[in-house]
Amino acid sequence: MSDYADLYQAILEGNAKKAKEVTERALAEGADPLELLDRYMIPAMDEVGRRFDCQEYFVPELLIAGRAMETALQLISPLLAEGGGARAGKVIIGTVKGDIHDIGKNLVISMLKGGGFEVIDLGVDVPAERFVEAVGNQENIIVAMSALLTTTMGYMREVIKALREAGIRDRVKVMVGGAPITQRFADEIGADGYSENASGAVGLARRLLGLASSA
């Protein structure tokens, strides 16, 4: 396979136009889509996450890198679908009822997709029963919740309770995040994990599903 390091660079720099061009060229030249994902795209997003952790990158950089990643993913995902879609695992995510803030949630989605996860976005103002419905009879998946307001964070506990009452709490891992959320709060409400930011959410999701970190 030829070297498509340009794809890695384009995502890292958040250059969606270049990411699209290189991906199109690579596919036209017969590159393996799975290898593009594993060798360039996911490592690029891992590096974006690392730079975020080191305070070299902030939210704007995460956003534009995520967008470049998304552009490339759109080109290769139809080709990957037959290979089994969600290779890293599946995440059902939403901002909880009463809260319509979606910036944090969307960042997490972008980073999770960048990490190879299949993400089902339930949107904002999501009631407990919609999380339960979305899980259905699936197992070994993640339910991720976001809240920006101290007035809505308490609802996360209601969602966990609803999962328990539906008898499906043990089949999923629950992770939570948002400005007022702390590890202590996550422990209190019985969540399986908490991440302080979007880049940490990827590593957390991998750990919760027992996947090796690719970093």
Q: By the criterion CB under 8 A, which residues form the site for another protein?
A: 55, 57-61, 63-64, 67, 97-101, 103, 125, 149-155, 157, 179-180, 182, 184-185, 188-189, 197
Helix (H) or strand (E) holding 174: strand 172-177
Q: How far is the CB of 200 from another protein (least distance, A)?
A: 12
Burial class (CB in 10 A: 0-12, 13-18, 19+), 161: middle
Q: Which is nearer to another protein, 140 or 182 (CB)?
A: 182
Helix (H) or strand (E) holding 12: helix 5-12
State the Cα torsion 179-93-37-86 to the nearest 10°. 150
Q: How far is the CB of 161 from another protein (least distance, A)?
A: 10
Q: How far is the CB of 110 from another protein (least distance, A)?
A: 10
Q: Which is nearer to another protein, 60 or 78 (CB)?
A: 60
Helix (H, G, I), strand (E, B) or coil at 76: helix
Q: How far is the CB of 51 from another protein (least distance, A)?
A: 11
Helix (H, G, I), strand (E, B) or coil at 139: coil
Q: Which is nearer to another protein, 31 or 145 (CB)?
A: 145
